[in-house]
Structure 1
Amino acid sequence: MDFLISGTEVIIGFFVLLITTKLLGKTQITQLTPFDFISALVLGELVGSAIHDKDVGAIKIIYVVFIWAVLIYVTELITQKFKNTRAFLEGKPSIVIHKGKINYEGLKKNKLDINQLQNLIRKKDVFSLKEVEYAILETDGTISVLKKSYFAPPTRNDLNLNEIQVNLPLAIVTDGEIVWDNLNESGFDEKWLRGQLQVHGCNRIKDCLYAEWTEGEALHVVKY
């Protein structure tokens, strides 16, 4: 009976967390500010503690997670409606390199040392601080870099080249299955796709690991 109760609580906790994450939005993962990080930890800990506590039932799990989710949702709503609260609740970006000079006070304020700054800069494919004109530490802990013009790659405008259309590649087949939304958006049908795959040696859809289509280019196919 204990195993049945524990299993039921785990399943309920799983779906409650799943629904809560969907309702709160993707910022819990993609834009993880310190507040979001702590809230995600607490949310998981609430469910974990409730599951391991024999005196806590499924109703209490749902109740506790619901209260926490409401608090997070209200906080997000406040930051959306009242801009003045964003700096306090979400933090604000900090310029750590200004006009090529390191802002030591900015580093100190954000508890960041030179080695950590270099590490963040390297993740932007910049291996020398002298190449950086501006560096901004974002609220999620990542860094945005604007290179000095001398080190910046040339653009088509710099080379006096005509502007060309940029097309978004569409994954038509993934893991041996057709991505129907992308296939329909491409303007082709299944018959066309099968014909193209056969040209690349895929007699069946499930023989294709990945197929990508870009307007004006041939279908790119990767077989299993």
Structure 2
Amino acid sequence: MKMLFSDWNTVFKILIVGSLAYVLLIIVLRIFGKRTLSKMNAFDFVVTIALGSILSSILTSRDVTLLDGTIAFTLLIFLQYIITKLTIHFQAADKVIKAEPVLLFYKGRFDFKTIEKERLSEEEVLQAVRSKGLATMDNVLAVVLETTGSISVIQNSSKYPENSTLKNINKDHF
């Protein structure tokens, strides 16, 4: 029976502390801005998992107080804010924290070595192109695996200068 219900104090603690922790988490996230929950790269994903773990500890551990959890939320989000600022102002920090976008397809050629290295398949690249409504690879200038793990498709068009969105992507092996 203890496995299904311990006591009312535990239930009330979870309801009250959980509600307060949720509100405090929202406040802290709003203070530090939209970037905190933007499209995630690996670093952002780890921070998000850690926030969930902290919330879980606040709700279920008798040893973690609401104040402890709030300090942990704030510290983690503050550290993410500092790291994000560093990546904006220092290219070396950006390279350490974030993955580089990579070309999977460029000017009519697939880079199968990169596709395999990134644990993708040609089918996934083709699916990304189809999802953009393109019926042939002849209409595609490039397919890029972004730092967030999403796949971008850049159409072949005289309207777009080739170097406009691909300027920070290494094209040496094409």
- Which category of TM-score, normalised to the shorter sequence, fits these structures? 0.7 to 0.9
Distance change in 2, residues 1:136/1:37 (3 Å): same
Match of 1:84 among 92, 106, 113: 92
For 1:20 and 1:115, the matched residues in 2 are separated by 41
1:32 maps to a residue whose letter is M
CA distance in 2, matches of 1:2, 1:141: 40
Indicate if the aligned counterparts of 2:41 and 2:149 stay in contact, CA closer than 8 A: yes
Establish whether residue 23 from structure 1 lines up as the match of residue 24 from structure 2: no
> In the alignment, is residue 3 of structure 1 matched against residue 14 of structure 2?
no
Deviations 1:58-112 (A, max 9, x none): 1111122122122211211211221222122122211111111011222123221
Residues 119-171 of structure 1: CA deviation (Å, up to 9, x unaligned): 2222222243343221112111222222234xx8xx7xxxxxxxxxxxxxxxx
1:129 aligns with 2:137: yes
Unaligned segments of structure 2, at least 5 residues: 1-8, 160-174
TM-score of the superposed pair, with normalisation by structure 1: 0.60
Alpha-carbon distance in 1 for matches of 2:29, 2:144: 29
Other-structure match for 1:106: 114
Higher RCO, Cα 8 Å, sep 6+:
2
> One-letter code of the match for 1:117?
V
Alignment size in residue pairs: 151
Instruction: Compare the two structures and name the one with the higher strand fraction.
Output: 1
Q: Which has the larger helix fraction?
A: 2
Match of 1:115 in 2: 123
Q: Quick one: percent identity of the two aligned structures?
A: 21
Alignment of 1:56-67 (within 5 A): 56-67=64-75
Contact 1:33 1:139 in 2 (8 A): yes
Could you tell me whether the CA contact under 8 Å between 1:86 and 1:92 is conserved in 2? Answer: no
Report the secondary structure of 1:140's partner residue.
Answer: coil
Once the two structures are TM-superposed, the CA of residue 40 in structure 1 deviates from its matched residue by 0.9
Specify the alignment match of 2:168 in structure 1.
none
In structure 1, C-alpha distance between the alignment counterparts of 2:47 and 2:34, rounded to whole Å:
13
Segments of structure 1 that go 5 or more residues without pairing to the other structure are 156-224
Is 1:33–1:90's contact at 8 Å kept on the other side of the alignment? yes
Larger radius of gyration: 1
- AA at the equivalent of 1:44: G
